[in-house]
Amino acid sequence: MGYGSGELIIRSYNAQNDRVRLEGLESICEVGPADKPFLFTDTLGDPICRIKNSPIYNMLVAELAGQLVGVIQGTIKLVTLHKPPKNVAKVGYILGLRVAPAYRRQGIGSRLVTKLEEWFVACNVDYTYMATEKDNEASYKLFVNKLGYVKFRTPAILVNPVNHHRSSQISSNFKLTKLKIKEAESLYRKYLSSTEFFPIDIGNILRNKLSLGTWVAYPKGETWGKVPTSWAMLSVWNSGELFKLRLGNVPISCFMYTKSSQLIQKFLPCFKLPSIPDFFNPFGFYFIYGVYGEGPLYGKLVKSLCNFVHNMASSKSKYCKVIVTEIGGNDTRSKLHIPHRKSMSCSEDLWCIKSLKNEDGKRVHKLTTMPPTRTLFVDPREV
């Protein structure tokens, strides 16, 4: 395709030459549909912050007439994926696709994806996948209609605002314990190793400095040494240390309501009105991952754990404005009990997948038609 002002060059990211220009590109690119409120991403001076914790990663940039007009990022890892005869696959994840507004609808996005797929193939990747909002029409048309991706899973994204003026209640009937990393890894491998997209290098995730820890909850009077009659576990990742977000394209009425609700919450807490966090200035978030448990009290236990995470965020980080949890779309037992605000959450996100090996084409069909496992492991390094 001709671009009028010169030849489009797609190459690997060069930190020394590209960092400042990429920050400028990020500042003019929104995350999400352009006709709705969207998020701006502040990478805090490190454009590869969202991928650098993955085992293998790459960033490609699109350059036209000396200007950076597009960028895409990709990561590679080994995960559990039910595809007989083996249940482990090397997968490539696509994220961070951005094209400058003035250069959209010129095929730059598809060129970037294709080049990244070529890198995946060179690394012997079995499947590539991506995530997008289900109502992001431009993204859906590019990946599904044009590039051959197919709908795979529809996880739910649950968002709980952090109230810095009030703590959440934790049941006195339960005991909460922080696990040692080796114990947490052993527990995850025992109970979640057959879960879709479970990362083979789970230990590296748990040992990462951004992983704040893994906690379990169980009824008081029972011991963790023996498997309790009911128990729940989760881990927490501090995404706010990597990058910040800021909300844009919001009606002035929403802005004024947010400010007034915060003032009421601060000076008149007796009214107990729900306060809306300030999303108009850069903010961070905690990401809850590896949610699992068993027993009749699981729901109440996981709720207590989530309330504990809320209180931790409220007391330790003034910039943490929300807690995000992503779970399998059919994990209704968790969705019912994980605290979240419906208006901020997404009940159906969209994951799409594509085989990069001809012989795996039929297996993709099987993957997309097989009933999903109830639990879906979402890697915090890819949020």
- pLDDT in the model for residue 256: 42
Three-state DSSP string of 218-287: EECCCCCCCCCCCEEEEEEEEHHHCCEEEEECCCHHHHHHHHHHHHHHHHCHHHCCCCCCCCCCCEEEEE
How distant is the alpha carbon of residue 318 from its chain centre? 21
If you search the block for the tokens 């990058």, which residue do you land on? 243
* pLDDT means over runs of 10, the chain (383 residues): 75 95 85 60 90 97 94 97 76 96 94 98 96 90 95 93 88 96 97 92 98 98 92 97 77 43 42 58 93 97 97 90 93 95 89 84 66 82 93
What are the counts of helices (DSSP H) followed by strands (DSSP E) for the chain?
Answer: 9, 15
Distances 318 to 260, 284, 321, 323 between C-alpha atoms, Å: 19, 9, 8, 13
Q: Which long-range contacts (CB under 8 A, 24 or more apart) does 261-268 make?
A: 265/163, 265/165, 266/165
The pTM of the full predicted model, rounded to 2 decimals, is 0.89
Q: Let me know: does 158 contact 335? Beta carbons within 8 Å.
A: yes
Query: Do 8-154+349-369 and 159-344 agree at the fold level?
Result: yes
CATH class of 159-344: alpha beta
Nearest CA-CA partner of 335 in 298, 296, 310, 372: 298
CB contact set of 14 (below 8 Å; sequence gap of 6+): none
How far, in Å, CA of 54 to CA of 373, rounded? 24
Instruction: Spell out the domain ranges in the chain.
Output: 8-154+349-369, 159-344
- Would you state the structure tokens that stand for residue 160, as one six-digit string? 């709980």
- Would you state the structure tokens that stand for residue 210, as one six-digit string? 């951004």
Q: Let me know: does 32 contact 23? Beta carbons within 8 Å.
A: no
- pLDDT in the model for residue 226: 86
- pLDDT in the model for residue 266: 45
Nearest CA-CA partner of 356 in 149, 191, 45, 128: 128
In single-letter form, the type of residue at position 375 comes to: T
- pLDDT in the model for residue 170: 94
Element (H, E) at 165: none
Q: The domain 8-154+349-369 is classified under which CATH number: 3.30.420.40, 3.40.630.30, 3.90.380.10, 3.20.20.140?
A: 3.40.630.30
- pLDDT in the model for residue 259: 44
Q: Let me know: does 89 contact 126? Beta carbons within 8 Å.
A: yes
